[in-house]
Amino acid sequence: MNAGPLDHVINIDARAIQELDLSPLQAWMEQPLPERLKAGAVVELRYAWPRDADDPRELSECPEPRLWALRADAQHPWLPLLLERSGGNLAQHVAMLVPHDFSPSEGIRFDPQALELWVTQRLMLLDHLNRGQQQSQRGNLNQMAATLGYELDPGFWALLDQHP
């Protein structure tokens, strides 16, 4: 277990990306789930992926960092709940996972259906994981969805509660 405070900035270097090495997340992984979630949305992932100066792609359009993010997300589905939101870290992570376009003037434009499916699936998954810990993160889940442009109808949770 980590004896001191966790570093909120996680640097992911090119070697980790190339090798799909998730060890940069290790200090957070070692914490029990309730402790990770208690920290809130504070984690910032910083990718050090080299690109040519004339490469017009955004980081989320580069296949190697996307593959790393897909693996991190598959291994640690709670990660979106921990990612900082106001500075765009959650949106960047979701862009690694969900089809989108990028416009210099408008920023990330997600495929609406793909984003809706990802958000819905993630809400169901994380609610299920948190139930296993006998705790609710629904307020945090609502905030995560709102950051991505979704306002949840309270009936969504009532529907899930019908058949836990």
Any domain includes 139: yes
pTM of structure = 0.89
Average pLDDT over every residue of 143-153: 93
Q: Rounded CA gap, 148 and 109, in Å?
A: 11
Any domain includes 51: yes
Range of the domain at 105: 9-162
Q: Rounded CA gap, 22 and 82, in Å?
A: 16
Specify burial of residue 6 (Cβ count, 10 A radius: 0-12, 13-18, 19+).
middle
Number of domains in the chain: 1
For residue 1, the model assigns a pLDDT of: 43
Burial code of 102-122, b = ≥16 C-beta within 10 A, e = fewer?
Answer: eeeeeebebeeeebeebbeeb
Any domain includes 3: no
- Backbone phi and psi for residue 46, each to the nearest 5 degrees, phi listed first: -115, 115
- Residue 104 pLDDT exceeds 90: no
Residue 119, CB-side half-sphere exposure with 13 Å CA sphere: 23
Any domain includes 87: yes
Q: What is the pLDDT of residues 28-75, one digit of tens each?
A: 989 988 888 888 899 999 999 999 999 988 899 999 999 999 999 999
Any domain includes 4: no
Any domain includes 1: no
For residue 4, the model assigns a pLDDT of: 53
149 - beta bridge partners? none
Average pLDDT over every residue of 115-122: 96
Any domain includes 153: yes
Q: What is the pLDDT of residues 74-91, one digit of tens each?
A: 999 999 999 999 999 999
Any domain includes 80: yes
